[in-house]
Amino acid sequence: MSHNHQKKMAVINDFCGFGRCSLAVSLPIISAMKVQCCPLPTSVFSNHTGFESFYCTDFTDHMSAYAAEWKKLNLRFHGILTGFLGSPEQIGIVKDFLTHFKTEETITVIDPVMGDYGKLYSTYSPILAAKMRDLVPFADILTPNLTEACILTETPYDPNLSEKRLEELCQELNAMGPKKIVISGLERGEDLENFIYEEGKAPIILREHKVGPCRSGTGDVFSSMIAADAVNGTEFGESVRKASAFIAKVLRRALELDLPKTDGLCFEEFLTEL
């Protein structure tokens, strides 16, 4: 009996019990967009690292055996989404996963979660960041922020890059493999921009007014929506518009509810709209 009659997506990321990020975001959002979400955890957190304390169990030693069971089931994925990875070993495991499961029919979205504001996250090392480049050739869609785009292309970080330089940055990333790239969360005064690049097309800039403080899991909501839309055949630029508008709406609601920024996006309020 085949298990491959329904659209499904493998999502490789950590699982976080509280704080609305990673797999805890991807599972409901991708499911609401009518794609079966199949999580492969990289680690398990009680709550994310933005809190003062947290419990964590590393899942690295289990990931290959976990994926091996999917091979036995002959699972085929319409999409694969990767998020935060915690070690060079995990990147090697994900590379093996992509080599086996990615087909011509599989849309792969790589969210190269590494840092922000010109710096690597505290859990990231330069060696780990360099290894992330190994996954870029597998990507059909790449969703870095500006810091991550600069790291991947070995470009000095500059928060005020011109449109021309952003396009050149995307062209360098495009030459590494992905045909569709969105550099997300570019700060422009009171606004945020997404720079959308598609091979063979003129770039598009989408601007949304900045709503409140930066919140955990925003990038996970964004990449999950982009990935599910891609599997469902939504045009790339329209998908970015949809995700940006949805996030802005949820951020406004989070302010109304006076939620701590560590608690992430209250996307449940609007989940049925997806």
Give the H or E element holding residue 63. Answer: helix 60-72
Per DSSP, 269 falls in state G
Count the helix, strand and coil residues of the chain and give each as a percent rounded to the nearest 5. Answer: 40, 25, 35
CA angle 12, 154, 192 (to 5 degrees): 70
Rounded CA separation 123/58 (Å): 13
- The identity of residue 7, as a single letter, is K
Q: How far is C-alpha 61 from the geometric centre of its chain's CA atoms?
A: 23
Name beta bridge partners: 186: 193
> What six digits make up the tokens of 130?
């360099």
pLDDT of residue 187: 87
Full-model pTM: 0.96
CA angle 206, 208, 213 (to 5 degrees): 135
CB neighbours of residue 255 within 10 Å: 11
- The identity of residue 103, as a single letter, is T
CB neighbours of residue 88 within 10 Å: 16
Which residues of the chain carry a pLDDT beneath 50? Answer: none
pLDDT of residue 135: 97
Rounded CA separation 262/257 (Å): 14
List of domains in the chain: 8-269 (3.40.1190.20)
What digits encode the pLDDT tens for the residues 247-264?
A: 999 999 999 999 999 999
Q: How far is C-alpha 241 from the geometric centre of its chain's CA atoms?
A: 16
Which own/partner pairs from 73-76 qualify as long-range (CB within 8 Å, at least 24 positions apart)?
73/3, 74/2, 74/3, 74/4, 75/3, 75/4, 75/8, 75/10, 75/38, 75/101, 76/4, 76/101, 76/103, 76/105, 76/106
For the sheet with 8-18, list strands across it: 56-58, 36-47, 8-18, 79-82, 107-110, 141-142, 180-188, 191-198, 204-209
What digits encode the pLDDT tens for the residues 193-211?
A: 999 999 999 999 999 888 8
